[in-house]
Structure 1
Amino acid sequence: MTVPEELAGQRIDNFLQARLKGVPRSRIYRILRKGEVRVNKGRIKAEYKLQAGDVVRVPPVRTAEQAPAPVVGDQLRQLVEESILYDEAGLLVINKPAGLAVHGGSGVRLGLIEVLRQMFPASPFIELVHRLDRDTSGAIMVARKRAVLKHVQAELRAGRMEKSYLALAAGKWPRGRKVVEAPLKKNTLKSGERMVSVHPEGKPSETRFQVLERFAGATLLAAEPVTGRTHQIRVHAQFVGCPLAGDAKYTSDEVNRAFRGVGLKRLFLHSAVVGCTLPGGQKVRVEAPLSAELESVVSALRAGGDVRTSG
């Protein structure tokens, strides 16, 4: 195998693990230690970082039989194709539909990343830069080059990546409440469901909020997560006393019923803007438009829709 530019910088052990599906990691390290794997006809160590153009020779290795990967249907493929907002310089930005997980697992047969790998079979490298909850829609970055993945994730860790969400909160957001700093802790219920709560022993978490528009019983917000904790925006909004509309986890049934009256059938949380700097210095900023469903909800509220509840 000849290493393409997109995979330059990847460790040989990770490179092999991605290609020898079903082979235990211990077996991969064994063939590396024994020198059975050669790069440019020479022995290498597990931590060797591949270079573009390297020729990798792998001995015959028995792999466990794997169930065939589910095939992406035409309808889902078309939906994702139509959702591509940006595809340049090794970076994809997708306007992810609500309800589509970012990757398979835990009962999910196909996620966004599996769909993209089937859509671009000639691309040797397609990886998520960051994640979105399954019920959250909007802009998500996917790297098509390893160098882009490493660079943009470093930008993310350093707080230099722009991420802004549109969120519809129930109730009247408190005036002057522009920042929520509350530690978040993950909990797993007996049912296996994952929940997050504000807890003194949780991880430090910060979200910046800006009121964009007020309605009868609801507030449209821009939310910028400074940290990147699971369910952070949703739990911080709940902590303020204004849980997000349509949130089945953190918002009461009574409140969600009121929002169904204006046509909302899902969580109103949308990744509206992502921005970063690419390895060559090019600045990228991409806006993801709201779906017709969420636009319709906002229009109904502007037209006088009242979602106030007795609670």
Structure 2
Amino acid sequence: MPPADALLTDIGARLLYRDALVLVIDKPAGLPVHPGPKGGETLTDHLECLRFGLPRRPEAAHRLDRDTSGCLALGRHAKALARLNKLFAASGMVEKTYWALVEGGPEAEAGVIDLALARRSDDPRSWWMKADPAGDPALTRFTVLGRGGGLTWLALSPVTGRTHQLRVHCAALGFPILGDPIYGTAPRNGGPGLQLHARALALPLYPKKPPIRVEAPAPAHMLVGLQACGFGGLG
């Protein structure tokens, strides 16, 4: 996988959608959205050039894990960000579709994963999660899009938005996401990394108008696995 800074030489080239309130970009894998306790480069460092004449840079309206690529919505100003935050906070309001390559795979071609999630540790700095009946409700819908080479290509739609929900749900059912160093098997010999991509967003941002629908092309670091599972496109 190329370093994140190489992928963001021109962030404008990764812009998928733009209107008066929202931008949607194709975030590269390997770059955190927000600053962490260890510091280092984040997406925020690259957002200044996406002001498009507004006095302030846009801000991310939701989270994607550092190693997850794909659709990320940005609010262009404070009111827009507040509206987007409400949408993402309300369960089921924003339609999110992820592509994942998993080890093995479910027997069924489609289904629902209904497993509550809780933190593994009481340490507030820890983001690692586990399936726990006493935890917060978490619901994920899945559809098999293809199979091959011991992998399954899944479309995952989280109804709730728990931390690491898709990664924990897949691992708990016995088909961890390929390259997941926490819940699955870490990449070997500098492998392609976490095979999870935020493929599409549908944002019901404007009353009396259809949702804004945006897709991010398949990332280069997942193409080999996707093609092994029957994906015939280039993006």
Match of 1:148 among 63, 66, 80: 80
Corresponding residue of 2:160: 227
Q: Which amino acid aligns with 1:187?
A: R
Q: Which runs of 5+ in 2 are unaligned?
A: none
8 Å contact from structure 1 (residues 170, 242) kept in 2: yes
Q: Which amino acid aligns with 2:224?
A: S
Question: How many angstroms apart in 2 are the aligned matches of 1:268 and 1:77?
Answer: 20
Match of 2:225 among 293, 297, 311: 297
CA shift in 2, pair 1:134/1:74, >3 Å: closer
Corresponding residue of 1:267: 194
Q: What is the 5 A alignment of 1:144-293? A: 144-156=76-88, 157-175=90-108, 178-188=111-121, 194-253=127-186, 256-257=187-188, 264-279=191-206, 281-282=208-209, 283-293=211-221
**What is the percent sequence identity of the aligned residues?**
36
Q: Which runs of 5+ in 1 are unaligned?
A: 1-72, 304-311
Q: Deviations over 1:150-175 (max 9, x none)?
A: 22332331522111000011013121
Match of 1:117 among 32, 41, 48: 48
Query: Which deviates the most, 93-102 or 125-134?
Result: 125-134
Q: Which amino acid aligns with 2:20?
A: A
What's the CA shift for 1:218?
1.0
Q: Give the TM-score of the pair, scaled to structure 1.
A: 0.65
8 Å contact from structure 1 (residues 91, 148) kept in 2: yes
Q: Give the TM-score of the pair, scaled to structure 2.
A: 0.84
Over aligned residues, Cα RMSD in angstroms? 2.7
Determine if the alignment matches structure 1 residue 88 to structure 2 residue 16.
no
Corresponding residue of 2:68: 136
CA shift in 2, pair 1:74/1:295, >3 Å: closer
8 Å contact from structure 1 (residues 264, 293) kept in 2: no
Q: Deviations over 1:123-151 (max 9, x none)?
A: 32522111100010000100002232222
Larger of the two Rg values belongs to structure: 1
8 Å contact from structure 1 (residues 129, 149) kept in 2: yes
Determine if the alignment matches structure 1 residue 108 to structure 2 residue 35.
no
Higher relative helix content:
1
CA shift in 2, pair 1:116/1:245, >3 Å: same
Higher relative contact order (CA 8 A, sep 6+): 2
